[in-house]
A = this chain, B = another copy of it.
Amino acid sequence: MVKVLRINMTNREIKSEELPEKYALLGGRALTSQIVSDEVPATSDPLGPFNKLVIAPGLLSGTSAPSSGRLSVGAKSPLTGGIKESNAGGITSQKLASLGIKALILEGQPEGNDWYGIKITSDGAEMFSAQDLAGKGTYEVTSLCRDRYGAKVAVITIGPAGEMRLLAAGVTNNDTEGNSSRYAGRGGLGAVMGSKKVKVIVVDSPSFNAPVKDAEKFKEAAKKFSKILMDHPVTGTGLPAYGTNVLMNIINEAGTLPTRNFRYGRFDGAAGVSGEKLAEVAVARGGKATHACHPGCVMRCSNIYPMPNGKVCAPVEYETAWGFGPNLLIADLDQVAMLNYICNDVGLDTIETGCALGVLMEAGVISFGDGKAAIEMLEEVGRGTALGRILGSGSVVAGKTYGVTRVPAVKGQGIPAYDPRSCKGNGVTYATSPMGADHTAGYAVTANILSVGGQVNPLLPEGQVDLSRNLQIATAAVDSTGLCLFVAFAVLDNPEGLPAIVDMLNAQYGLALSVDDVVKLGQQVLRVERRFNSEAGFTRADDRLPEFFQTEDLPPHNTRFDVSEADLDSVFNF
C-alpha cells in the first residue's frame, strides 16, 4: 500500500495516511510542490510552525529504472521566501519508495530545545531522542547511525548549520559507502528541518522493492532507456569518465566561467580544478574518478577524492569546484575539496557558500585566492560565530552586512557556475525559475554551450526564452520521476528517450500516458509553484537578474545580460 507518513512535531505523533487519490500520479517534485501548495500558507514564516518539510521519492524510484534514485525535498524556502524543491542523489529515495512511502511530511514544531530522530522501517516509524547527535557533523551522525542501525540504512540529516537554522543549510543523505554528501542543498531546507528539531531520519529497507504492475514491459523499457543513456556522448562517455567537473574546461573555454565573484568569464587556473585533474589526482591517491551516487545509476558521475589530510571528499562536483575555485580565484584542488568537505559536514549548500565567500572577498574581509583564509572562515560556521553565521546565511545576507552590491543572487539564492551574460539561456532560467537562481531548473547550457538538443547562440538574447521555457517544463517533469536530471542530455538528442520514460511509467503504474501527458505534468508543476510564489508575494520584479549583469561587461566576450523584461515576463506563457 502506498502511503503518506505524516510526522507532527508539535505533539510528536506519527500517522500513516492513505495516499489521497489526487496525488496518485504525482511523485518527486510534483508531489512535494503540490503538498506544500495545498498545506502550507504561502505567507507563513518558513521557520515557523506552519511550514512543512516534505520528502518524496520520484515516481520511478525504487524500481530498476536506470538512474532513478533521486529524492525530492520540498518546503517554503527560508532563503527565497518562495516554494522550494531541492533534489538529491543518495540511497534514500529508493528505500522510501520500496516501503511504499510516497511522501514524508514533517509538520508543526516542538516546544523546548530537544532534538529528535525518526526511524522508518517496514514495521513502521518511530521517534527517538537525538540529543546525543545534536551539534555533530553529518559525517559523524551518519557513521553513528550506520553503526547503530546497520550499514545499509539511509540517513537523512542536517549539520550544525541546519540546527542553527542558517539560510544556506541543506538536507543531506548518504550514498552506499555512507558518505553524507548527497545534498538537497539549495534553498535552506536544512534550516526548515532544524526548525522542526529533527536531526536525523533513518530509513531501513531494501532498495528496489517498489511495486511494478507490468514487470516484463517495465524491464524492456528500462533496458531500452539504459541503452539510450549509454549511447549518448555526455551520459555514456563524458559523465562516466570525469563526472560533472568535465565541465570546468569546457565552460572556461566558452568564456562563461564566473571568475572572481562574476567579474570575468575565464580563469587561468581552471585546469587545476578541472575534472581531468581531479580524476588524475583522485586515482593517484587511491580514490575514484567515477562512482555512482545511488545503486542503479549508469552515469556514475560522482567521484571519490582523498585529501592530503586523510579525509575523503566524495564527490567534488563541477558547481562546487566552480564556487570554491574560479569564483574565489582558488586554483588549488585540495583547498577546493576541503571547503567542499567542511560544507558537507557542517551542513551547508556548497553553491550558496561559494557565492557568499565571493561576496565577502569582494568586501575585502579576506582576499581573493586565499584558500587558507576561506577554510578558516568556513570553519567558523560550526562554531556559530557572528562571521560564521553571516557566511552560513548565504550571499544576500553577506552582501547586506558588508554593503556589497555585486551580489550574484535571484530571489535570494546565489547564482551558480555559468555566467548569465554569456550563457543567456541560463540567465533566463536564473531570473524566472520559481526556485530562484538554479542551474538545474532549466539547464540551457545544453543548447547554449554543449550543442545538445540543438544550438542557440549563448551570447545573443534571441531564442533564450523559448529554450529556457521548454527546459523548465521538461525539468519539472523529470524531477517528478526520480530520474537524474542528467538523463535529459540523452533525451534531448534522442527522440526515443522520452517515449522510453513514458513506457516505464505506464508499465509501473498500469497507465496509458502519452509524451504529451509528461509535458503537461511539467507545466502543471510550474503553475503550482508560480501560484504559490505569487501568493507569497512574488511579482515580475522578482524575475530579474541583479543590476550589475546589465551594466557590467563580462570578458572575454564583453557581453551584458540583455534579454528584455518583456521577454522574461513571457517565460510562463503556456
Give me the interface of A with B, judged by CB distance under 8 Å.
Answer: 42-45, 47-48, 50, 78, 164-167, 191, 194-195, 385-387, 389-390, 393, 397, 400-403, 405, 534-542, 544, 546-548
A385 contact set on B, CB distance < 8 A: 386
Q: Are B387 and A393 in contact (CB under 8 A)?
A: no
Contacts A386-B386, A397-B400 given; does A405 touch B48 at CB 8 Å: yes
Q: Are B390 and A401 in contact (CB under 8 A)?
A: yes
Among B43, B402, B548, contact of A389 (Cβ-Cβ < 8 Å):
B402
Closest residue on chain B to residue A391 by CB atoms: B386
Q: Are B535 and A405 in contact (CB under 8 A)?
A: no
A387 contact set on B, CB distance < 8 A: 386
Among B165, B534, B548, contact of A403 (Cβ-Cβ < 8 Å):
B165
> Can you report 20 A-B residue pairs in the complex whose CB atoms are below 8 A from each other?
A42-B541, A43-B541, A43-B544, A44-B547, A45-B546, A48-B405, A48-B548, A50-B547, A164-B402, A166-B401, A166-B403, A195-B403, A386-B389, A386-B390, A393-B400, A393-B401, A397-B400, A535-B541, A536-B541, A538-B539
Among B42, B400, B537, contact of A542 (Cβ-Cβ < 8 Å):
B537
A45 contact set on B, CB distance < 8 A: 405, 546-547
**Complex Cα spacing A50 to B550, Å:** 12
A78 contact set on B, CB distance < 8 A: 400
Distance in Å: Cβ of A377 to nearest Cβ of chain B: 10
Q: Are A389 and B389 in contact (CB under 8 A)?
A: no
Q: Are A405 and B547 in contact (CB under 8 A)?
A: no
**Complex Cα spacing A538 to B538, Å:** 8
**Complex Cα spacing A166 to B401, Å:** 6
Contacts A385-B386, A386-B385 given; does A405 touch B542 at CB 8 Å: no
A386 contact set on B, CB distance < 8 A: 385-387, 389-390, 401
Closest residue on chain B to residue A387 by CB atoms: B386
A389 contact set on B, CB distance < 8 A: 386, 390, 401-402
**Complex Cα spacing A434 to B99, Å:** 51
Among B393, B403, B536, B546, contact of A164 (Cβ-Cβ < 8 Å):
B403
Which are the 10 A-B pairs with shortest beta-carbon distances?
A165-B403, A537-B541, A386-B387, A386-B386, A389-B401, A45-B547, A537-B539, A47-B405, A43-B541, A393-B401
A167 contact set on B, CB distance < 8 A: 400
A541 contact set on B, CB distance < 8 A: 42-43, 535-537
Closest residue on chain B to residue A534 by CB atoms: B539
A43 contact set on B, CB distance < 8 A: 541, 544
A194 contact set on B, CB distance < 8 A: 403
Distance in Å: Cβ of A159 to nearest Cβ of chain B: 14
**Complex Cα spacing A46 to B334, Å:** 39
**Complex Cα spacing A194 to B402, Å:** 13
Closest residue on chain B to residue A163 by CB atoms: B403
